[in-house]
């Protein structure tokens, strides 16, 4: 167990004050000593993994580029990727093999992100709102990546949502099933509550200044908090012995959180060259702007090695929210983008929305591309899976699933980006490819009809 054996290095906060102008962190000799080789060629620097998710799909048969291979054209629905397309691999034609018995949006989200069929809670007994009873059968793909990537980074994972999820007060649920609202799950019936306000994310990551290397004294307040957590961990290990399998799993996840917290109190990070204190972005009212400033904070968190895994939910599965930025504002009348899709097919309004989702994803990729690292940028050591809950929202189809893979993942993925068309192939191969690209030691991914063991060679380097 990785518990209190961590080196008591400190993440010294407050050195530079809570706010202020961006100040580049001086590249200390100590850092070069510790990571000199890493800086020379990038090996040894952390890999990062991200999920960028939007609800209600795309336009099957039309979203993908006209040509395959390199040099695909970022036009139509993918026009928003023009500035980053050399770092984006596109996989079209795949089918997500959902069972078609529960809410299709949940089946799709759980299928593509957790590689299985939704689990139905015992309290479900033929209820009309089955989505309130559905959870994942196992950890979502981002949480699988965490186990390999997180190391001692202070935030094992960042969970963000840009537009409101179905639960009226995000972060808590009256129902046992949360797969309709949230996309990041460490286990069945456990969800990572998303941060929805960029200013709050800023405060959590940078509120007390930049992480810094300081071999000196630890902050006694933080050591005291850590000492308290030691006692809590002792309680938990006493209790754990008395538990059955199910409760042990639950308690272990809780303990993960305590370890993470303790790690954050006592560990130090090795910030990269682009690490600089950002400004508090506030909480922009525009959803696109919110997504963009989230992306910049995530990029900086990667650069400072505060985290290595992010899950960003631009809109939830089956989202019924408005997108005022593109003039879709009928949610109050029951005519959100979701209903537009159902009622109107692929008319101009719907296509505007579908293009818009990819544009906002493009903003995210661009934010990673903007920060240099060694001889390139953050995308060189990242893999970001951009996907949705259905292929087409109009008729809940699962053929020609929208699958975008950004980043080179340390050289594992093709560069410049390819477009690979694999009609009829299992869409679960894409998350498998992403996981293997960032070094997760697995031979297969998924369960039941989502079980796959073959990566997509066409997007690998």
Partner 1 sequence: MGSDLRRGLGRSMALCSVLAAGCYHGTDAFGDPAATDGTTGDDAGSDSGSGGIPEEVPAGPTGLRLLTPAQYQNSVLDVLGPVAAPAVGQWRSSLAAAQGGVAAAAVEDYEEAAHALAAEVFTNPALRTQVTGCEPASAAADDACITAVVETLGRRAWRRPLTEDEITRYASVATTTAGLLGGDPWIGIQHAVAGLLQSPHFLYRVELGTPVSDDDPFLVRLDAYELASRISYLVWNSTPDDALLDAAAAGELEQTAGISAQVERLFASPRARTGVIQLFVDMYDLDALLSLQKDPALLPAFTPTVGPALREELFRVIDDTVLAQRDYRRLFDTQQGYVNAELAQLYGIAGEFGPDFTPVTLPEPRGGVLTLAGFLAINSGEASTSPTKRGLTVRRVVMCQSIPPPPPDVEADLPEPGEGEPMTKRQMLEEHRTDPVCATCHNFTDPIGLALESYDALGGFRATDQGLAIDPSGDLDGTPFADAAALGTLLADNSATSDCVVRNLYRYASGHIEQPLEQPTIDELTTELVDNGHDLPAAIAALARSESFRFANLSPEDAP
Among positions 167-186, residues that touch partner 1 (CB under 8 A) are 168-169, 171-176, 186
- The binder of partner 1 chosen from 54, 87, 191, 314 (CB under 8 A): 191
Does residue 261 bind partner 1 (CB under 8 A)? yes
Does residue 203 bind partner 1 (CB under 8 A)? no
- The binder of partner 1 chosen from 58, 92, 117, 159 (CB under 8 A): 159
Residue among 136 and 432 whose Cβ is closer to partner 1: 136
Binding segment for partner 1 (CB under 8 A), chosen from 30-38, 58-66, 337-345, 368-376, is: 337-345
Beta strand extents in 266-381 (DSSP E only) = 309-313, 372-373, 376-377
CB 103 within 8 A of CB 318: yes
- What is the C-alpha separation between 120 and 137, in angstroms, rounded? 9
CB 405 within 8 A of CB 72: no
Please state the closest distance from residue 54 (CB atom) to partner 1, in A: 20
- What is the C-alpha separation between 411 and 460, in angstroms, rounded? 9
Residue among 252 and 280 whose Cβ is closer to partner 1: 252
Binding segment for partner 1 (CB under 8 A), chosen from 85-93, 110-118, 229-237, 403-411, is: 229-237
Residue among 11 and 190 whose Cβ is closer to partner 1: 190
Residue among 7 and 242 whose Cβ is closer to partner 1: 242
- What is the C-alpha separation between 160 and 293, in angstroms, rounded? 12
- The binder of partner 1 chosen from 9, 13, 35, 121 (CB under 8 A): 121
Surface-to-core class of residue 20, CB atoms within 10 Å of its CB (0-12 exposed, 13-18 middle, 19+ buried): exposed
Please report, to the nearest 10 degrees, the dihedral formed by the alpha carbons of residues 200, 205, 207, 210 taken in order. Answer: -160
Does residue 220 bind partner 1 (CB under 8 A)? yes
Please state the closest distance from residue 130 (CB atom) to partner 1, in A: 5
Does residue 100 bind partner 1 (CB under 8 A)? yes
Residues 6+ apart with CB under 8 A from 356: 80, 288, 323, 325, 326
Residue among 26 and 244 whose Cβ is closer to partner 1: 244
Does residue 187 bind partner 1 (CB under 8 A)? yes
Please state the closest distance from residue 151 (CB atom) to partner 1, in A: 15
Does residue 156 bind partner 1 (CB under 8 A)? yes
Please state the closest distance from residue 394 (CB atom) to partner 1, in A: 9
Does residue 253 bind partner 1 (CB under 8 A)? yes
CB 435 within 8 A of CB 141: yes
3-class secondary structure, 364: helix
Please state the closest distance from residue 404 (CB atom) to partner 1, in A: 26
Residue among 71 and 99 whose Cβ is closer to partner 1: 99
Among positions 125-144, residues that touch partner 1 (CB under 8 A) are 125-130
- What is the C-alpha separation between 7 and 5, in angstroms, rounded? 6
CB 117 within 8 A of CB 137: yes
- The binder of partner 1 chosen from 46, 55, 57, 104 (CB under 8 A): 104
Residue among 254 and 448 whose Cβ is closer to partner 1: 254
CB 143 within 8 A of CB 157: yes
- How many residues touch partner 1 under the rule CB under 8 A: the total is 77
Relative orientation angle of helices 287-303 and 198-206, to the nearest 10 degrees = 10
- How many CB atoms sit inside 10 A of residue 220's CB? 8
Residue among 43 and 246 whose Cβ is closer to partner 1: 246
Residue the block writes with tokens 């904070």: 297
Q: What is the DSSP letter of 98?
A: -
H-helix or E-strand spanning residue 296:
helix 287-303
Among positions 384-443, residues that touch partner 1 (CB under 8 A) are 395-396
């Amino acid at each position: 167990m990785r518990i209190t054996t961590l080196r008591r290095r400190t993440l010294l906060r407050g050195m530079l004050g809570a706010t202020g102008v961006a100040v580049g962190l001086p590249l200390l000799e100590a850092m070069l000593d510790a990571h000199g080789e890493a800086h020379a060629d990038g090996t040894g620097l952390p890999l990062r993994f991200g999920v960028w998710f939007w609800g209600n799909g795309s336009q099957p048969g039309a979203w993908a580029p006209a040509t395959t291979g390199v040099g695909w054209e970022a036009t139509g629905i993918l026009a928003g990727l023009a500035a980053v397309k050399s770092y984006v691999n596109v996989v079209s034609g795949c089918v997500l093999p959902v069972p078609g018995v529960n809410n299709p949006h949940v089946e799709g989200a759980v299928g593509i992100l957790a590689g299985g069929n939704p689990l139905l809670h015992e309290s479900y007994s033929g209820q009309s709102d089955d989505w309130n009873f559905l959870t994942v059968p196992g950890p979502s793909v981002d949480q699988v990546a965490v186990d390999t990537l997180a190391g001692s980074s202070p935030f094992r994972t960042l969970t963000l949502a840009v537009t409101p999820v179905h639960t009226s007060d995000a972060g808590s649920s009256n129902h046992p099933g949360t797969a309709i609202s949230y996309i990041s799950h460490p286990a069945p019936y456990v969800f990572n509550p998303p941060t929805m306000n960029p200013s709050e994310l800023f405060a959590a990551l940078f509120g007390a200044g930049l992480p810094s290397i300081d071999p000196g004294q630890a902050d006694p307040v933080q050591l005291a908090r850590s000492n308290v957590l030691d006692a809590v961990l002792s309680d938990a290990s006493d209790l754990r012995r008395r538990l059955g399998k199910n409760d042990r799993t639950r308690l272990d996840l809780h303990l993960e959180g305590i370890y993470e917290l303790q790690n954050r109190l006592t560990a130090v990070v090795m910030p990269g060259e682009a690490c600089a204190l950002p400004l508090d972005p506030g909480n922009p009212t525009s959803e696109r702007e919110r997504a963009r400033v989230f992306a910049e904070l995530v990029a900086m968190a990667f650069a400072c090695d505060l985290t290595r895994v992010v899950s960003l939910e631009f809109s939830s599965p089956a989202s019924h929210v408005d997108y005022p930025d593109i003039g879709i504002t009928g949610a109050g009348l029951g005519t959100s983008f979701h209903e537009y899709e159902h009622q109107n097919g692929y008319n101009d309004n719907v296509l505007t929305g579908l293009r818009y989702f990819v544009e906002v994803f493009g903003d995210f990729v661009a934010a990673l591309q903007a920060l240099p690292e060694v001889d390139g940028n953050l995308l060189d050591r990242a893999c970001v899976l951009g996907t949705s809950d259905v292929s087409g929202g109009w008729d809940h189809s699962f053929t020609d699933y929208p699958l975008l893979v950004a980043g080179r993942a340390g050289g594992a993925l093709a560069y410049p980006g390819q477009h690979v068309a694999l009609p009829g192939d299992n869409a679960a191969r894409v998350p498998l490819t992403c996981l293997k690209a960032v070094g997760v030691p697995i031979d297969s991914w998924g369960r039941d009809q989502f079980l796959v063991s073959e990566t997509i060679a066409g997007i690998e380097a």
